[in-house]
Amino acid sequence: MSVKLTIVFFILICFEIGILLVILPWVPSPSWNENYLLVLAADKMHWPWLAIAMKSGYARGAVTGLGLLNITLGIWEIIYFRKTARAFQMEWQSDESNTKPLDAPDALKAIDIRDNRPPIAAQPDGKAGPDSSN
């Protein structure tokens, strides 16, 4: 059940973001050209071309294209809803079967911590290590 709800929420978010990105660049009331934060950022960074580029029709078209891409992704998820839910369910079941508590003796055997330090050479007098020849 949680898998299906996750997918439904993802589909809703795709449609919401997509619709906003398609509509907002073309709405006349908060004009795309009267963006105070964009002008402020362009002034602070001394990039006047940024404000000019974002006010162009090409930028509006790119944002609208991203919105259409989000809507298309939402439609794709609706079409392949069962396949996606099955894939998520199989993945979550495999993750649950692979996890074992750490206090189990078999789990401790599965932990393989390798010691990559160089072996300490034994000295002829029986002392170990290069610094122990005092």
What pLDDT is attached to residue 117? 74
Residues with Cβ within 8 Å of 15's Cβ and at least 6 positions away in sequence, in order, are 70, 71, 74
Question: What is the pTM for the complete model shown?
Answer: 0.61
* Domain-embedded: residue 128: no
- For residue 84, the enclosing domain spans 1-47+57-95
Identify the bridge partners of residue 122 per DSSP, sorted by sequence position: 128
Q: Which of 17-21, 85-89, 98-102 has the lowest mean pLDDT?
A: 98-102
* Domain-embedded: residue 91: yes
Q: Which of 3-12, 29-38, 88-97, 112-121 has the largest mean confidence?
A: 3-12
What total of structural domains would you count in the chain? 1
Q: Which amino acid makes up residue 66?
A: L
* Domain-embedded: residue 41: yes
Arithmetic mean of pLDDT over the chain: 80
What pLDDT is attached to residue 92? 76
